Structure 1
Amino acid sequence: MTTPYQQQAPYQPQGGPAAAYSSPIPVRDAHLGDALASEWTKIRSVRSTMWTLGVMIVLMVGLGVLSAVVVSAADADLEGQSVLSLGFFGVLLGSICVITLGVLTIASEYGTGMIRTTLTACPSRARVLTAKAVVFFLLVFTLTTVITAIVGGLQTLIVDQGSSTGEDWFRATVGIALYVATLGLLSLAVGTLIRHSAGAITVMIGVVLLPLVLAMFMFSESLRDLQQALFEYSIPNQIGVLYDTAVTESGPAGWDPLWIMLGVTAVALAGAYASLNARDV
């Protein structure tokens, strides 16, 4: 009879060595695919994803269709602009939801302490951040592309003005989706650096809205150049450029806003990787 917690001796045949135990469960090294599966499970199972993306869909579809109905009812002239440009306001407000989800994708784990479990299961911090970035980007890009295409189709049916070229459609769907998803990645990087949900969300909302608000209240002639730069490179104006409805005639044009956002996000992500590897959780 054995005492409690006493380990049984391994089976040893008479006159032979002890038999080694071999687990029937296959053992292999973890890889990026495992981290991607883990992050996909987390992002689709938390309520914040459903609420933020749900509100984004309501804003984009609701404001896009409402703008088209108002223009059609008032028989307003779009002055040569594509009807797809009516989706601007929905995308601008919907991007706030994407920013919020981007921050919460990692900052919420710091708030709850779940980040310790995540990094215990996957000690490679770079792999964890890469998996979060890939899953988040693909989710937002796919959803935004589908929604902008649906909204554009509805606007075309409601407003019987002009025609939109293939390039207009591509920029108003794929281009906008790439820009919004990249803006979300910037939020993910800021959330990694700040590690506080409310603080990171506040910073990102300031990044989106503050330059435009500051420019509107710069009345001094000496600040004219700064005011112009803030107008040109503000995120609302960059989204407007992709819709061909820019506030200013100078500044970014064509696909420039996307390259600018990609450059800024790449720098922020590099800082996020360095910070995540250097800091203790």
Structure 2
Amino acid sequence: MAHAYTSPIPIKKTNLGHALTSEWTKIKSVRSTMWTLGIFLLLVIGIGLLAVANTDPEDYRDVPFTIPAFFGLILGQICLITLGVLVTSSEYGTGMIRTTFTASPQRYRVLAAKALVFFVIAFVVSAGSIFFVGLVASGAHSGPGVGEEPWIDTVFKGGLYVSLLGVLALAVGSMLRHSAGAITTMLGVVLVPAILPAFLGIWDSTRKLGEKMTDYNAINSLAEIFKIDASFASGGGTAQLVLLVVVTAAALGGAFALLEKRDV
């Protein structure tokens, strides 16, 4: 009786670790990652250091040393949103998603790996840049009665907030599978709640909705996290972070559900 053929190549079951390695290789190999993260760092650190150079120690009596990074994050968050969209939608645009799903038929594993790799990169880059700006500001403007406001928590919360916005963009990109459409949608998510309250405040029936939008839009949420104004609530942006976590989790749930139902 003829013996069954046995391949000399060792066969291993694929797991999440393989998917993570694959996505890490992809995200570090494409030019869009270097460009978007490079511009993000230029905005956050560049604008932050410019703000540090144009402030005095007295300016930090009631605010954290990381506040100069806030001004760069207002623009820099758009970079992470763009990169989050491209992590998923670019493969649909080029058709490479077919190869990805052929190599890893468990589609949920691919999307989970993309989200995890992107989140870690986004958080490390954003929290690191905020910390660097805060460190420079504390060194340049330290003095009696200055820097009493704790600022390490703003590093974590600020980095977490913009990273979650990027993951939300990743989920939207997976659902829409179109880069321009997903980026436009996310720009609407960031900008419309910041603009619409001015119109909703005209009528009594919509004024409360406008006030909620004012409290929870992306710009004011970052302002709350960085304690930029004493008129903001004392929660330090925790409520805004919780809302973004819920919205991001819901969007990821929708992305996972659609991923299994659609053809490539």
Q: TM-score, normalised by structure 2?
A: 0.92
Contact 1:241 1:253 in 2 (8 A): yes
Misfit runs of 4+, over 6 Å: none
User: Displacement of 1:171 after TM fit?
Assistant: 2.0
Which segments of 5 or more consecutive residues in structure 2 lack a partner in the other structure?
none
| Cα distance in structure 1, aligned partners of 2:59 and 2:124 | 32
| Cα distance in structure 1, aligned partners of 2:128 and 2:236 | 24
Picking from 167, 189, 194, the partner of 1:185 is 167
Inter-CA distance 208–246: structure 2 relative to 1 (3 Å threshold): farther
Contact 1:232 1:248 in 2 (8 A): no
Q: Which residues in structure 2 correspond to 1:58-97 (within 5 Å)?
A: 58-72=42-56, 77-78=59-60, 80-97=62-79
| Cα distance in structure 2, aligned partners of 1:228 and 1:247 | 17
- Partner residue, 2:242: 259
Q: Greater shift after overlay, 185-194 or 217-226?
A: 217-226
**Paired amino acid for 2:97:** I
- Are 1:141 and 2:114 an aligned pair? no
Picking from 224, 233, 237, the partner of 1:241 is 224
Which segments of 5 or more consecutive residues in structure 1 lack a partner in the other structure?
1-16
- Equivalenced residue count is 261
Contact 1:52 1:100 in 2 (8 A): yes
Quick one: higher RCO (CA 8 Å, sep 6+), 1 or 2? 2
| Cα distance in structure 1, aligned partners of 2:155 and 2:234 | 22
- Partner residue, 2:262: 279
Inter-CA distance 216–28: structure 2 relative to 1 (3 Å threshold): same
- Partner residue, 1:174: 156
Q: Greater shift after overlay, 82-91 or 19-28?
A: 19-28
Q: TM-score, normalised by structure 1?
A: 0.86
User: Displacement of 1:76 after TM fit?
Assistant: 6.5
Picking from 198, 201, 225, the partner of 2:208 is 225
For 1:217-246, what per-residue CA distance to the aligned partner results, in whole angstroms no more than 9, with x for missing partners? Answer: 455242432321221111111111111125
Contact 2:115 2:170 in 1 (8 A): yes
Inter-CA distance 273–89: structure 2 relative to 1 (3 Å threshold): same
Picking from 257, 264, 270, the partner of 2:253 is 270
**Paired amino acid for 2:52:** A
Three-state SS of the structure 1 residue aligned to 2:134 is helix
Contact 1:237 1:247 in 2 (8 A): no
Percentage of pairs with the same residue: 45
Picking from 24, 27, 36, the partner of 1:43 is 27
| Cα distance in structure 1, aligned partners of 2:207 and 2:3 | 84
Alignment RMSD: 2.0
